[in-house]
Amino acid sequence: MIKRLWYGWVELLSRKETGEAFAIFRILCGFGILFNIGSVVMADIVDLIWIDAAHGGYRSLYPSSWSVKYFGGPNPKVIWTLVSLSLASGVALIIGIGGRFTALVATQCVLATTMINGHAMGSYGALLGNGLWILVFGRSTATFSLDCRLRTGSWRSDEHIMAWPRYMAVFQLVALYFSTGIHKVSAYWTPAGGFSALYYIMQQPSWHRSDMLWLANVYPLTQIATATTWFWEVTWPIVLLAAYFRSTSREYPGFIRRQFNRIDLRLVYGGLGLCIHIGIFVFLEVGAFSWIALSFYPCLFKSEELKAFWHKIKERFKSKPTSQT
């Protein structure tokens, strides 16, 4: 039994696939860096929140990153160098130059900057850092990249890459939502609190984008949204099982797998997640969280599935020939 499981594990981690899904993940992470770091630059608060009080910031900061500590602490020169490198690495990820090295530089610079002030950081900074680490492990510039253009003369390639870094991104997504769901221990997320959590969250000035007293007129809808969101989060591990069953349906056919694969739960959970994050972006001010979380979504699918979906879209929007009269 143990031997069979071990061989199955080795076989799963030895799989290769074309790199379109992982490349899209890379590009979205690059835009995530520009969103996360760029929004602070555009708001002109870099000196305020990321630089020590001795140099003009609003509080004393401890250099939690080795790079900040090594180069002299959170002073303007160090922080603006890290900010500049973060933005440059974000652009480099988008165009696809430098491969793993670019992802490594981005990881170190983004985490060193965004995690320096506990008063002004969000969990999405750590999520972005995890995504960038995953890019270090895989060949994200095998296609849709300048690296590919310089190597093959074309912007895209059907060269195969290891699939397990994409699996890591899927696991990270499952861990994100499941852990978020089980940490919602307030009664307001349950029938005991009337599923009123989202209503009260959207009344808080620190979260909402504008006055939302009008939600009182559609209060039952907020209750449905609360219950749906919580159930959707805590059941995300089923997506991991669904992805595994779908990817191994040929090797291990069986009744349970066939029944499980009748509905692609990745589309169900991913579609609902897209709607939830659009709602979060429209109604709440939570920084770059929604963009960064959605950056992981392409990894839910194999590259061949994404290509098939893209071909369907092109066929649907392809102009029909006009009839001859």
- Tens of pLDDT, residue by residue over 85-104, are 999 999 999 999 999 999 99
**Sole residue written with tokens 């559609």:** 218
Q: Which residues are 16's β-sheet partners?
A: 162
More confident of the two residues 247 and 140: 140
Give me the percent of the chain exceeding a pLDDT of 70: 97
Q: Residue 187 sits in which domain range?
A: 172-302
Cβ pair 198, 225 in contact under 8 A? yes
Cβ atoms of residues 280 and 286 within 8 Å: yes
Contact status, residue 174 vs residue 240, Cβ threshold 8 Å = yes
Q: How does pLDDT run across 278-306, given as a tens digit for each residue? A: 999 999 999 899 999 999 999 999 999 99
Band of residue 22 on the pLDDT scale cut at 50, 70, 90: very high
Residues 99 and 79 in one domain: yes
Q: Which residue do the tokens 């997320």 mark?
A: 189
Please check whether residue 244 lies inside any domain of the structure.
Answer: yes
How many Cβ atoms are within 10 Å of 238's Cβ, its own excluded? Answer: 15
Same domain, 210 and 122: no
18-38: average pLDDT: 97
> What is the Cα–Cα distance from 145 to 15, expressed in whole angstroms?
22
DSSP 143: S
Q: Within a domain: residue 310?
A: no
Asked whether residue 280 is domain-assigned, the answer is yes
User: Under 8 Å CB-to-CB from 243, ≥6 apart: which residues?
Assistant: 170, 266, 300
Helix (H, G, I), strand (E, B) or coil at 67: helix
Residues 25 and 157 in one domain: yes
Same domain, 278 and 191: yes
The verdict on residue 23 lying in a domain is: yes
264 in any annotated domain = yes
The reported pLDDT for the residue numbered 325 is: 43
Handedness of CA 11, 133, 290, 202 (dihedral sign): positive
pLDDT in tens, 150-177: 999 999 999 999 999 999 999 999 999 9
Within the chain, residue ranges assigned H as helices are: 2-13, 20-42, 46-50, 66-70, 76-95, 99-114, 123-137, 146-152, 164-182, 197-201, 219-234, 237-247, 255-260, 265-283, 289-295, 303-317
Q: Report pLDDT digits (tens) over 193-215.
A: 999 999 999 999 988 999 999 99
Report the domain count for the chain. 2
183 and 256 in a single domain? The answer is: yes
Co-location of 287 and 189 in the same domain: yes
Whose CA is closest to 166, among 5, 17, 28? Answer: 17
